[in-house]
Amino acid sequence: MSEQTSPTATAKDRVVLAYSGGLDTSVAIGWIGEQTGAEVIAVAVDVGQGGEDLEVIRQRALDCGAVEAYVADAREEFATEYCMPALRANALYQGRYPLVSALSRPVIVKHLVRAARQFGATTVSHGCTGKGNDQVRFEVGITSLAPDLRCIAPVRDLALTRDVAIDYATKHDLPIETTKHNPFSVDQNVWGRAVETGFLEDIWNGPTKDVYTYTDDPTFPPAADEVVITFQAGVPVALDGVPVTPLQAIAELNRRAGAQGVGRIDIVEDRLVGIKSREVYEAPGAIALITAHAELENVTVEREQARFKRTVDQRWAELVYDGQWFSPLKRSLDVFIDDTQRYVSGDVRLLLHGGRAVVTGRRSETSLYDFNLATYDTGDSYDQSNAKGFIEIYGMTTKLSAARDARFGVGEAAALAGDQA
């Protein structure tokens, strides 16, 4: 991670603004100043959303009236400290969504709080509306790290609508495009891409080709692509034998799995605020990695631990979706998940083709799979005579309960006995 800041200055009343460089947050700089009388520090955090250079964004913030500008390249940080914990938790909200936007908010929050401390701000501002999840993620995250800071949202709290933003930018001759209109609301980062609004709000409408950027149409895929992912303690460390960082692993699988149309998700999800929302996601690298990681866990994690971990994984995903990254429960679940990953090391071979990532091979020096126990051929080391006694003991409580039901004419056993009579 690298950071650049303009020279530090002190002021009593300052607001740190989560700054994207776009129309709304550029206008928010002056708008917040007019509405609150405070100076604004713009904070731009690169988590892989693409677009302009950070230095260009920094200068635009200053040109739009920010008294300071803090920019950070957090792509490596995001991949290592946020995406990898999600991978180790096989995190899929509602069993499908790999937390693309939800994962990025805590790292942005951390930099917002860091900037607030550095520049002596008392308030943090974000650009969220009052209908979405992100307002919760930002504000709960901020107050979890800095309970003394106040939060405001110009769109929600200060009546900064898009029409007002365009008029304001034109009137003040701000260096920002005011006429370009994207029919969708898009949020993207290293882990994936989220698309909503526009005609997608009618849940009967199918996504059109222009919705997708990270993935190619899986209907006409290129030749199948086979990749071997090497994991160490639940984290990818090599692709096809070539060492990679977490960021490199995600980026390369975004490219290769994306070319095969892997990772397209169309879902009506339950927002934290109580609204059902139609979302379209692209997460080729995330889906490929989670598929491989989950299979390696099947090979290396003990049965009862694995069963319980599935419950933990689901709760972990719900907490992160709900903006509770810094919560005590999330921290405790992290400890459990970390312990389960001790032996999750080895190779998984994936076949990427036609929108699917399919496991075709797995191997691990820490595997719990014993060929001699599993085989039905010569060399079988499993003593089948043990099964009879095991079944007697395992089924004893159910057998006794069924016998009692039969005596009192209750349950299926009694009904079947009556049929026989």
- Give me the residues paired with residue 270 across strands: 276
83 secondary structure, DSSP code: I
Q: How far apart are CA 373 and CA 379, in angstroms?
A: 9
Is 137 annotated among the ligand-binding residues? yes
Q: Which of 134, 216, 322, 347 is catalytic?
A: 134
Our CA angle for 264, 89, 235, nearest 5°, is 90
Neighbours of 401 (CB within 10 A): 13
Q: Which of 60, 105, 256, 356 is catalytic?
A: 105
Which tens digits make up the pLDDT trace of 159-205? 888 788 888 888 988 887 765 566 678 899 999 999 988 899 999 99
User: Residue 49: which of 109, 101, 93, 119 has the closest Cα?
Assistant: 101
Angle between helices 396-407 and 411-420 (to 10 degrees): 60
Confidence label for 112 from pLDDT (cuts 50, 70 and 90): very high
Domain annotation for the chain: domains and CATH numbers: 2-181 (3.40.50.620), 186-301+343-371 (3.90.1260.10), 388-420 (no CATH)
Is 134 annotated among the ligand-binding residues? yes
206 secondary structure, DSSP code: P
Mean pLDDT of 104-125: 97
DSSP count for the chain of H helices, then E strands? 16, 15
Taking all residues of the chain, what is their mean pLDDT, rounded to a whole number?
92
For the question of residue 277 being annotated catalytic, the response is no
Is 269 annotated among the ligand-binding residues? yes
Burial of 42 (0-12, 13-18, 19+ CB in 10 A): buried
pLDDT at 420 over 70: no
Q: Who wins on pLDDT, 158 or 4?
A: 158
Is 21 annotated among the ligand-binding residues? yes
- Residue 245, C-beta contacts closer than 8 angstroms, at least 6 positions apart: 76, 79, 80
Mean pLDDT of 383-404: 91
Which tens digits make up the pLDDT trace of 360-392? 999 999 999 987 877 777 777 878 888 899 999
Which tens digits make up the pLDDT trace of 327-366? 999 999 999 999 999 999 999 999 999 999 999 999 999 9
Give the chain's largest Cα–Cα span: 93
Is 24 annotated among the ligand-binding residues? yes
State whether residue 234 is helix, strand or coil.
coil
Which tens digits make up the pLDDT trace of 27-54? 999 999 999 999 999 999 999 998 779 9
Is 416 annotated among the ligand-binding residues? no
pTM of the model: 0.90
Is 127 annotated among the ligand-binding residues? yes
Token output for 298: 């099947």
Q: Which of 6, 14, 24, 347 is catalytic?
A: 24
Q: Which of 185, 327, 364, 367 is catalytic?
A: 185
Q: Tell me the pairing of strands 68-73 and 123-125.
A: unpaired
φ and ψ at 326, to 5 degrees?
-95, 15
User: Residue 101: which of 192, 216, 219 has the closest Cα?
Assistant: 192
Is 133 annotated among the ligand-binding residues? yes
Is 129 annotated among the ligand-binding residues? yes
For the question of residue 338 being annotated catalytic, the response is no
For the question of residue 264 being annotated catalytic, the response is no
**Contact, 16 vs 61, CB < 8 A?**
no
Q: How far apart are CA 135 and CA 102, in angstroms?
A: 11
Mean pLDDT of 196-216: 93
For the question of residue 105 being annotated catalytic, the response is yes
State residue 350's pLDDT score: 98
pLDDT at 1 over 50: no
Neighbours of 115 (CB within 10 A): 26
